[in-house]
Each structure stands twice: as structure tokens, then as C-alpha cells.
Structure 1
Amino acid sequence: CRVCGFGAWLYSFTLSCLELKSTGTAHHFAFLLNSTDYRILRMDEDHDRMYVGSKDYILSLDLNDINKEPLIIHWPVAPQRRTECVLSGKDINGECGNFIRLIEPWNRTHLYVCGTGAYNPICTYVDRGQRAQEYIFRLEPGKVDSGKGKCPFDPKLNSVSALISTYPFILYAAVYIDFMGTDSAIFRTLGKHTAMRTDQYNSRWLHDPTFVHAQLIPDSAEKNDDKLYFFFREKASEMGQTPMAQSRIGRICLNDDGGHCCLVNKWSTFLKARLICPVTGSDGIETHFDELRDVYIQKTQDTKNPVIYGVFSVSGSVFKGSAVCVYSMADVRMVFNGPFAHKEGPNYQWVAYQGKIPYPRPGTCPGGTFTPNMKSTKDYPDEVINFMRNHPTMFNAVYPVHKRPLVVRTNVDYEFTTITVDQVAAADGNYEVLFLGTDRGTIQKVIVLPRDDLQTEELVLEEVEVFRVRSFFMFPLHFQQLYVSSVVGVTHLALHRCDVYGEACADCCLARDPYCAWDGKSCSRYSANQKRRSRRQDVKYGNPIRQCRGYNSNANKNTLETVQYGVEGSTAFLECQARSPHVSIKWHFQKENSDRRREDDVTLKTEIMDAKNISLSSQEKI
């Protein structure tokens, strides 16, 4: 079994591979292919399909059952091309295949697909049919074109893309575009616009970047103001210092046509800013989680202001850890409207630019709110274009909401690598549940609750081991399922396993899982349509005294006490671990003719055998 089982380390149980399968909460794509490196690249909700790219294969899987009638295209490179790749010395780890790295919807019936092509990127069209019931999935013969600027040569190098649905379509991609993997660029191809890219081999623009995510986020109701945002990390250094990893958010105007004399066919609106994910010590000194690993954009009712979740790790050797930081678009725009970074002085240090800013302000889109009379960036004065070329970086950094991470992990044997977020409606409010992938092949389900003292309380609801691999990818949630892909295959998981929390109302309530509630008989999936009197759920406090009948409270209103009696000469099973992480277990031993109870180690079997009165104190921690 290549999928590993379930391990909820906060609860007193583990499930093997077969046990996990028997729960019906996880399904693995088990079609036998001689392939690796599965990546979920596109969801097609109109067809209820999920498109997956792997080495030499394109897959179309049913969103509801990924093993139901999978449609498969075999798209390898020609034998001659593979031979040329091997002779160039590029097949040390099997790279001389066609690793699918881009799948974008082209129209109602076709997909645009690109692969590495054994270090010679290629693209083509796939006919997916007009309706899901047609079960059509085939390559369009004779329609192969170059994938340069769309897909990387090297399958180990990350790339991100966005196909903007204007007609004809325009493809934006952040990618390495050469055989040696030294020329990184943000490219625009296809469509009627001029092909564009970032300034070549200009370390001020991009310096050994690792691309993470791309997202179109509108700035206003004016379409000409629309910008495409790129998230990446790169190397940066001050004078004389060793290059350090820095996380970035960059942006370009969609209608950027480059300059007239300078920056011809190159972006003239490209700007970038640093993303900070800090922890402040008692001495006021900030420590940064500096390597951006993944980004999730949580949409809101206001399309101009989504919430940005970023997963960060530490690049240095001082300590090991990772964190999740949350950013607002208001803070992002404030930084891009702030001062530009400029190098000057005897030490050539970065300072805020104090000179005159040319008009229109560098980074402003033509024909937009502030430049209605300029229809193209080619109309911009040369001083604007030259300023952009030399000042692509903002001086201020983007800090997270509340200036601190939402989730932090240090001194643990794993790091967060991926994230996706679900919005859940519970009985006592709406909550955001974070699904955080780790480099040990597990997924933690985390909820962060506000407290009365303006602080937050983090709860790890469960940890699920999905793959015994260090790297995998999570795709946004769909149909109450979480889709995960890795080198060994694809799995979809249910977002909840309510029955594992226990068979009692208190167990279900103490779990504080917004997906689950006590329905009067069992811990089951919460539904907002249920009658209120038949559901028991308290996510914010997890207090079963308020929700469950049959439990008595002692003098402490936050304490539950369950009493279990034993008979002399008999045996009793005493649990050493609570089912919920939010309770503690203490066994008290009371000897005969004694009014004094004392805590004892439950391993003292002889004393327990003689016990007249044994009680369990489950103390709720609020």
C-alpha cells in the first residue's frame, strides 16, 4: 500500500492502511501506470473532472470518485528526443521524460497542455468533449507548438502560470526558459499582445527565484487597472553580505506593452515587495521565517480584497521551524504605493528613494483610474521607463495581519510545505479551517480561535498521514474533499472523520471540530439545516457541560468529573490517554478507612486491585 494510513497523534488511536481504507474517508488513485510525479493541475467543475499531469501521462479523473473510469492520455517524447536528452547528461534522475507542468482550459471543449519534453518544452491541445457524459479525452493531432516561455526545461524547477480569459487567450507564466536553468523570467505569450518578459539577467528584477503562485487580483472596477500578482522567493544581499532568501510579492499590469525606446518587449510596470513573516522576541528583535513555500488565496465577497495565506520556513541554521502568516490586500497596496528602494551612499545600502517620482507613477497601468488619457505604456515618458528599470523594488515590506504569524511551529521534526483553507459554518459562527501539509507526508487540520484577551488559541484537530514522501501538493477543496498529489499518486480525503472522536456527546463536543456535532446518537457531520435542539456543538469553548446531559460539575465550573467504581478483587481498565487533547486524565486512589485521596501511577496494579473508590477527573482546559 503506497498510501500510508492515518495517524491522529492528538488522539489515542492510529489506523493502518487497510483500516483507513475501511473508513471510507480516503481514496487513492490506484490505476497502474509506469509513471511518477503526479500533480493536480486543474479542476473542471463544469465536467466534474480533475486533470492531473505526470511523467508522460495526462489524466482526467472523476471528482467524486477518482478511480471511476479514469481517462488517460499517453504523451511521451519521441525516442530520438529522449536519446538526445540522455546524451546531454540530463537523465541522472529520469528527467528525460515529458513531465506535464501546465494544463489550462482553452475553451468549452479543449485544454491547453504543456510538458517539459525531455528538456525541449512542448505544448498541444487536448479535446475533452463538450459534456462529461461523452468521456472524450484525446490529443488533437498535428497541433504541437513550442513550450518555451510557458513550461520549464527542467522538471525540478517550479513554474506558475495563469491563462487570462480574454479573447484570444493570453498566457502569463513565471518560468526558467533555458536548457541550463539560469534564465528566469515572467513571460506573456499567446494572444494578440506582444510577447513580453522581465529584463534578462537583471538581478535587481529576479535573482535565482523559486516561483510559488500566480493570481489575478483586480484593483478597482476599471478593468485597465487589473494586475497579475506573483509570489516567489529569491536570493538577495546587501553589500558584502552572503545572499539570503527573501520572500516576494510581485505584480504587473495585464495591459503592459513595454517601453518605446527602453524596455522594448519587457515589462514596464513590474514591481516587487518583500513579504515578512516575523516573530518578535522579548527584546523586540524580529526573527523572520524567510522562505515562502506555498500560498493560498481565500476569496471573499469583495473580489478586490481576498485574504492571502502564506506558508514560510527558515533557511538558516539557527533554528528549524515554519509558520503561517496572513496578509490583507490593503497592506499590500499600501506598500506598492509607498517609497521605492534605492541604493546610494558609501556602503551602497538600500534606502528609501527621496527624489522626484516621475509621472505617471511607475507601476501605474495605462488607461486606468489615474491615467485615463494614456492608452499604452509605450506612451509613457522615457524617464518613467528608466526609473522602472532601475527601481523595481519597494522600500517597505508587507507585514502580516496583527504583525505576527497565525500558526508557528519550532523545535519539531517537520516543516509546513503546503496550505489550503476551508470556510466552515458551525453552530456558533463561521470558522476557517487550515489544512497544512508537512514534509513528513502528513496533513494537519488546524483551527485558530479568537480569545477574549485579543490573543488567539490554536487547535490541531487531527493529523492525517497521507504519503510516506517528503513532498506533495494540495489542491483547493471541492465537494467536501481535499485532493492531494505526490510522486506516487493522487488521493482524495474527506474533510471530517467525526466518528473517530468517540461514542459520547462529551467526546464530540470536546473535539471542537466545526465539521462535527452530536446529533443525539453519534458524532456526525454537522449540517446547518438540522434542528437546533438535536445538535450539540461548541467550537469556541468546547464545553460539554453546556451541551451534553448526564454530566455533573464540581466546584470548578470548567471541570468535569466522571466517577468509576471498582470492586475488591476485580480488575478495571483505566485509560491513560484522553480521546480529546483538551482534557487531562488523573486517577485518584483512596485507601480503606481514609478520607484522603492521592494521585497514583496507574501502573501500580496491586494498589488499584485493592481500591475501594477510583475516580477519573477529566479537566477541561478552556
Structure 2
Amino acid sequence: MWGRLLPLLLSFFTAIAVPGPSLRRPSRELDATPRMTIPYEELSGTRHFRGQAQNYSTLLLEEASARLLVGARGALFSLSARDIGDGAHKEIHWEASPEMQSKCHQKGKNNQTECFNHVRFLQRLNATHLYACGTHAFQPLCAAIDAETFTLPTSFEEGKEKCPYDPARGFTGLIIDGGLYTATRYEFRSIPDIRRSRHPHSLRTEEAPMHWLNDAEFVFSVLVRESKASAGGDDDKVYYFFTERAAEEGAGSFPQSRNSHRVARVARVCKGDLGGKKILQKKWTSFLKARLICHIPQYETLRGVCSLDADGPARTHFYAAFTLTTQWKTLEASAICRYDLAEVQAVFAGPYMEYQDGARRWGRYEGGVPEPRPGSCITDSLRSRGYNSSQDLPSLVLDFVKLHPLMARPVVPTRGRPLLLKRNVRYTHLTGTPVTTPAGPTYDLLFLGTADGWIHKAVVLGSGMHIIEEMQVFREPQSVENLVVSPMQHSLYVGATSGVIQLPLSSCSRYRSCYDCILARDPYCGWNPSTHACIATTTQANRSQGRRTTLIQDVERGNRGCESSRGTGPPPPLKTRSVLRGDDVLLPCDQPSNLARALWLLNGSMGLSDGQDGYRVGVDGLLVTDTQPEHSGNYGCYAEENGLRILLAAYSLTSNNGVPAGPCSFAEELSRILEKRKHTQLVEQLDESSV
């Protein structure tokens, strides 16, 4: 029997010891390895919602009323933010009629995916109404929805200048002071555009003699209130993040070559822009854009952006997720970069680019810049000089804006490099929240959604990021389409094709000892030495408890504070194993952390390495092959992580010539390991090796 089992078990240990698609990542990727992996079956505290619709990709959280509003394909939902699965939701059916679907199909569109009403926009319009827009089978419609009764109106608004036709087209939108700010490719086969509608002064981007936007795919937009001591918000700006074809890199016909590569951009417009009087009529007079660089400019695709405003505009910063793909497409990776608002503002205050007709390329503009500075908002300072609105700007300024929309300097990430690089992962969306710890420091906590339905929870630490955990939030792989975080409900809401998931922002009870608690480096979790428990620092009870006892946390370093704590957990019990001489024995030891290194000591001092004297060291334990009397002794399994060594398991092994007296046979141990791993890819590797 052992002759058949030994090759099988050896192949098992080989599979878990080499890099591959397993849930246990190799330690040499520590900079981008999630500390803990939580498969779908081990999630706790989750709530689910799924109606009859599909594609739950548009989410709007209203903290004051504790409602989560969801836009899906052919439907809208109003859910309780406290528990999205409580069954007390409201629903609006908003389908495209069979006639509209038929016309859409006749246009050559897919009647399985495109010819429906995909709700792409959902925002608060005013105190009584919401505003929603849908693709409506390639004939977009918008509607003002009564927020209290959650019902559609009897009449709808034309949506072709507010919402994309194509459900897959990049789109972003905001309602600001009643005005609708949207960015997408609108009409059928139209060029991309940033527009303001439902406003006394409707505006859009310029198209001639050059397009300000070139084949742009929009990702995100945000209002940044940059005004200082201005009740009217005269210097407030809307920032847009997108990817487009590069103008400054292309050689060829004006304005650019169609073969140029795509680059990430950030653009801005002034909220108070009214357009020009004669030049740039009904066009933005404040539009400027700049290159956004993260890591490898030639091979970056912007996937998601979130904005965090810690203590006002001066502390505003953005996090952006990029996909990095080489020109040979042999390696795909993701990168996360941070951009501070001050750095973005400095680029927009810098030199401009200009298209040089003679060289037929874009280059840095070296001439004089007219006053007031092109692209500026009309503030109290300019009003004191007689410029009461953008319609009072001189023609020289407006002509300059028209021909110089691009800045010369790129926006580079804070400290000049990415916070995180992650191979073989494509991030699709991200969101975040600042978390203030009981000791005082505030950390940015990010949630990163992947293309295959995982969430990475990460804390920003100085010039890098620590991934606290990765969670498989969908049983079947599917792209994370949206993420919304609610500090008030201590919840993360995840939108995807099949439904909406609600997750707790932390699961501190998962950490059973003080060392577990601090090694996680979760700003939401702290060790309470009085109760010997890792608790969330967010609830009122725990906050007051924390004030009385001083919670133990070490987010910055992740290894200090537990030296004098009695809550480090009891030592593991000593287990006895007896094995016949010449047979094999498996000593199980599960490493709880992907970042930990397994260390085995014999008799407290002798370190054991893989392949040494019949020892095979794997992630799940130690295999002793062809046991001899010298293998007898006391074995300790330790986890070494971040400068700490923690005892996980202890065994007393005896090799003899008699009948083994251990409680578990070798076959039983193997069966236990295989049963535990049946849901992972490691078992698939094991099965292949046994065929």
C-alpha cells in the first residue's frame, strides 16, 4: 500500500512547493502577496441580493437614509444598506419594449447582451427625486424617479446626450447643483465628449480644428471643492480620468496618427464655466488635460480610480488601478498608484503643449501665455479685475485654450513609483476609506476588485501597500463591476453580473491571538488585552472599551506590542506519533498566512530543510520518509513572519520495530489532507499526477 501512496504524496508536496495557480503564493512575491486567502466557503458575515435582473453594475449609497440604490439591466432596486438581503427591498421594472429590442437587433446589435435597458446612471437629483438614465436598446432614456415611492414617472426625457448607447462604453457622470456632468461617447458612432446638461449653460468639448478628446474611454469623475472662503464655490473643479489615443506621441497627419498608442489622462473643467461669448460658444473655456503615468507608460491601461478627501481639498488624493501588458502580451500585471491633488494642480499650472505644423507633431509650447491664464476658473480675484464670467475672457485667451488643451508635463505618482505591483491579476475597480486608529494615525484602506471575482483588501503604508487579505466573493468567476464602501454600516458593497454582495469591512474575530491580530495590520482591528480578543475599533462599545484598556495595534510595522500580552494563545498540545521503521509519516502543520515561512525544528535546535535526510517540507506539513531510529524526537512547526516566530504544532515521534501506536495511520493522514484540499486547484494537480 505504501508503495502506491508514497509517489502520490510526493507529487502532492511537489505541487504545493512550487509556484503555480494555488491559493498559497510563493514568499518571493511578498510585496504583492495577500497575507490571507479566504475562499468563498470561508466567508463570514456576508449578505446577498439578486433579483430577476442581471448586471448589477450601478450603485448609489445614501448613508443618511441607509439605502443602497442599484441600477441593473431592466430594473432598479432600493435595498436596505444595513442588510441588503432582508427581503424588504423596492423594485422598479424598466425594460425596453419588444419593439425597441427588435429595432436594436435590426441595427446589428446583439439581442442577448446589448438590446436591453442597461441602467448606466443613478444619482440624487434633489431632495425628492433621483435621476436615472439607461441605454434602452440603443435609444437612451432618462427619468426623474420619486425617491419616496420609488416609482417611474409617466414621461421620460431624451437620453442621447446624457447616456451612452452602448452598455459596454466607458461612462462617468455626476449631478452637481442640479447640473448633469457626463462623459462618454454619446450618439451612435459619435466622438467622445465631456458635457454639461440640465443646466442654464449647456457645455461640451471642442471638435475643431482639433478634437480635445481622441477615442476616449472614461473611467471616473469627481467634484473637488478647491474654493477658499467662497460660498459660491468659484474655484471648484470637476476632474475626469480616462484613457485615449496619445496625441503628443503620434507622428502623422494633424492632429495625430491613428496608430499612436493609448495613454491615461486626467482632465479638469471649472464648475462655474459658462462658455465663451463669441469664441468657444457653448464649449468649455476651462478644459485642460494631462498625461497620467504610473509605471510603464507604453503599456498602461487605466481601469479604475477613487478619490479620498481626508481633511479638505488640500489633502485630496486619488488612487488609480492600471493594467500593465507588454507588447508581446506574455505578461499581464496590475499596478496601483497614488496622485496627490497638489501634484495634479502643479501640472495644470505648468507649461502647455502645441501642435507644430512644420514638424507635424506635438511639442512643448515656448511662447508667451496670455492673461488671465488659460484654463483658470473665474474667481473673486479675477472678478476684481473685471472678468465676471468666462464670457468676459479676451479672445486671445479663448483662442489659446482652443489650441492648447494638453499640458506638457505628465502627472507622476507620489514618490515617483507605484504603491503596488501584482502579477497575473487584473483589477477592474477600486474604492477606499480613511481609517483613524485609536492611537491617532489615519490610514487609507483600499478595496480592489478583480476580473475573476476576488476582493483584495489593502492598507497604504508609506510608499507601499500591504494586502491584508484576498476574498473570493463570488462562487463562479465574474468581474467586479462596482464597489461602494460605507463606514457608517461598516460594509463593502460589491456589484457584479449575478448580483450584489455586502461584506463587513473587517473580520477581526478571525485572529485568535495577539500576534495574529497585529500581523494582519488591519487598521480596523486591535487586540484587547483585557478580554484577550481581537476586536473591531469602529463600534461605540469597542471605542469606549478601547479608551479604557488601550488596544494593541501596530499597523505601521506589524510585529510589536504583544511581548507582554497574555493573550498570545496557549501553546499547542504535544501530539505523539509512532511509526514502523522504514515507513513514512506525515506531521500536519497548516500555515495560516501566505507570508509566513514554515520552519521545522528537531529537539528544539536542529532546523530541517526540504530534501534533507528523508524530510520533505511542504505548506501543509512535514513528510518523514523511510523513518529510522535517528528520526525519533520532538518536532516543532513554527511560522516565521515579519520578524516573529510562532509555534503552531508540536509532535513527539518514535520510530520502532513494533506495531505503530499513533492515533492516526499514514493513510488516514493522507485522506484528511486530501479532503481538506478538495476545493482547491492543488487537488486538481494531485489528481493529474495520479492518473
Cα distance in structure 2, aligned partners of 1:562 and 1:257: 71
Partner of 1:49: 67
Q: Are residue 76 (structure 1) and residue 95 (structure 2) matched?
A: yes
Q: Are residue 95 (structure 1) and residue 114 (structure 2) matched?
A: yes
Q: 1:597 to 1:268 in 2, by over 3 A?
A: closer
Larger radius of gyration between Structure 1 and Structure 2: 2
Q: Are residue 529 (structure 1) and residue 539 (structure 2) matched?
A: no
Q: Are residue 509 (structure 1) and residue 521 (structure 2) matched?
A: no
> 3-state SS of the aligned residue for 1:378?
helix
Q: Are residue 326 (structure 1) and residue 338 (structure 2) matched?
A: yes
Contact 2:454/2:480 (<8 A) preserved: no
Q: Are residue 621 (structure 1) and residue 642 (structure 2) matched?
A: yes
**Cα displacement (A) at 1:534:** 6.7
Q: Residue by residue, what CA displacement relative to the aligned partner does 1:194-219 show, whole Å, maximum 9, x if unpaired?
A: 22111237654000101111111133
Cα distance in structure 2, aligned partners of 1:477 and 1:574: 44
Alignment of 1:13-412 (within 5 A): 14-17=38-41, 19-20=42-43, 23=44, 25-31=45-51, 33=52, 35-68=53-86, 69-129=88-148, 136-141=149-154, 143-165=155-177, 169-180=178-189, 182-191=190-199, 193-200=200-207, 204-221=211-228, 222=230, 223-236=233-246, 237-240=249-252, 242-278=259-295, 290-318=300-328, 319-344=331-356, 346-372=358-384, 373-409=386-422, 412=423
* TM-score for the superposition, normalised by structure 1: 0.85
Partner of 1:133: none
Cα distance in structure 2, aligned partners of 1:269 and 1:586: 61
Q: Residue by residue, what CA displacement relative to the aligned partner does 1:228-256 show, whole Å, maximum 9, x if unpaired?
A: 11111101142146311111111112222
Q: Are residue 425 (structure 1) and residue 474 (structure 2) matched?
A: no
* TM-score for the superposition, normalised by structure 2: 0.77
Q: Are residue 470 (structure 1) and residue 488 (structure 2) matched?
A: no
Alignment of 1:423-502 (within 5 A): 423-428=434-439, 429-450=441-462, 456=463, 458-467=465-474, 468-478=477-487, 479-501=489-511
Letter paired with 2:445:
V
Contact 2:119/2:132 (<8 A) preserved: yes
Structure 1 residue ranges without an equivalent (≥5): 1-6, 130-135, 280-286, 451-455, 553-559
Cα distance in structure 2, aligned partners of 1:515 and 1:547: 21
**Stretch of structure 1 that moved more, 217-226 or 270-279:** 217-226
Letter paired with 2:158:
S
Cα distance in structure 2, aligned partners of 1:82 and 1:598: 68
Cα distance in structure 2, aligned partners of 1:550 and 1:611: 33
Contact 1:209/1:232 (<8 A) preserved: yes
Q: 1:196 to 1:574 in 2, by over 3 A?
A: same
Letter paired with 2:437:
A
**Stretch of structure 1 that moved more, 89-98 or 343-352:** 343-352
Cα distance in structure 2, aligned partners of 1:492 and 1:104: 20
Cα distance in structure 1, aligned partners of 2:523 and 2:455: 17
Partner of 1:587: 600
Cα distance in structure 2, aligned partners of 1:145 and 1:380: 34
Partner of 2:675: none
**Cα displacement (A) at 1:260:** 2.6
**Cα displacement (A) at 1:145:** 1.3
Q: Are residue 611 (structure 1) and residue 627 (structure 2) matched?
A: no
**Stretch of structure 1 that moved more, 338-347 or 210-219:** 338-347
Partner of 1:283: none
Q: Which one has a larger percent helix, Structure 1 or Structure 2? A: 2
Q: Residue by residue, what CA displacement relative to the aligned partner does 1:55-112 show, whole Å, maximum 9, x if unpaired?
A: 1101111101112211000111233322222222223543111111111212222111
Q: Residue by residue, what CA displacement relative to the aligned partner does 1:275-308 show, whole Å, maximum 9, x if unpaired?
A: 11136xxxxxxx5663211111101222354111
Letter paired with 1:147:
G
Letter paired with 2:197:
T
Higher relative contact order (CA 8 A, sep 6+): 2
Cα distance in structure 2, aligned partners of 1:329 and 1:549: 42
Letter paired with 2:593:
S
Q: 1:12 to 1:45 in 2, by over 3 A?
A: closer
CA-based RMSD of the aligned residues comes to: 3.0
Q: 1:608 to 1:205 in 2, by over 3 A?
A: farther
Letter paired with 2:191:
D
Cα distance in structure 1, aligned partners of 2:57 and 2:450: 17
Q: Residue by residue, what CA displacement relative to the aligned partner does 1:15-72 show, whole Å, maximum 9, x if unpaired?
A: 444x53xx3x2111033x0x21112332222321111111110111110111221100
Cα distance in structure 1, aligned partners of 2:602 and 2:452: 41
Cα distance in structure 1, aligned partners of 2:490 and 2:299: 31
Q: 1:356 to 1:289 in 2, by over 3 A?
A: same
> 3-state SS of the aligned residue for 2:54?
coil
Q: In percent, how many aligned pairs have the same letter? A: 31
Cα distance in structure 2, aligned partners of 1:352 and 1:173: 30
Aligned length: 574
Cα distance in structure 1, aligned partners of 2:379 and 2:261: 38
Contact 1:474/1:482 (<8 A) preserved: yes
Q: 1:14 to 1:114 in 2, by over 3 A?
A: closer
Contact 2:130/2:144 (<8 A) preserved: yes
Partner of 2:671: none
Contact 1:566/1:572 (<8 A) preserved: no
Contact 2:24/2:594 (<8 A) preserved: no
Cα distance in structure 1, aligned partners of 2:206 and 2:270: 15
Letter paired with 1:312:
F
Contact 2:59/2:495 (<8 A) preserved: no
